[in-house]
Amino acid sequence: MIKKLLFPTVMLAAAISLISMVSAQGKSTTLTGVLIDKACAGKAAKSANPQEAAANFGKDCALSEGCAKSGFGVFADGKFYQFDEKGAEQAKSALQKTKKSKGSTFKVTGSVAGDKMTVENIAEVE
């Protein structure tokens, strides 16, 4: 009897999970974290405290030609979310405007799908 109920229960749970993931995607969300280029985000992710490591990468590094070419994203809640092209331009502009050389915190609003983010707005947290 239990075996007969197990498969339908697992399938129902999977369907509910899938529906919730699909409905969550496309919704606007706000992440608060550190803007960083993709190349340096990979290095930060390997450290014991990725969020802190990301904050220690300076804006000069992120804005350097090689790093900026890799793209931008936000390191929030210990995870890197890569921006779309529009978001990368907004991140570059926000980094150019910040007065801090390291550790600036930003609120990024947009829609998240997996580890990618379509950016609507980026604002520095004062």
Tell me the C-alpha distance between 83 and 5, whole Å: 43
**Encoded tokens for 81:** 């979310």
Higher pLDDT, 121 or 27: 121
Tell me the C-alpha distance between 55 and 5, whole Å: 49
Output the average pLDDT for the chain: 84
Phi then psi for residue 119, to 5 deg, are: -90, 135
Domain segments of the chain as ranges: 27-124
Res. 4 pLDDT band, cuts 50 70 90: low
Res 12: pLDDT: 43
Number of helical (H) and strand (E) elements in the chain, helices listed first: 6, 5
Res 5: pLDDT: 52
pTM: 0.76
Instruction: Report the run of H or E that residue 53 belongs to, with start and end.
Output: helix 50-56
**Encoded tokens for 94:** 């926000």
Res. 14 pLDDT band, cuts 50 70 90: very low
Segment 91-113 mean pLDDT: 94
DSSP string, 62-100: HHSHHHHHT-EEEEETTEEEEE-HHHHHHHHHHHHH-S-
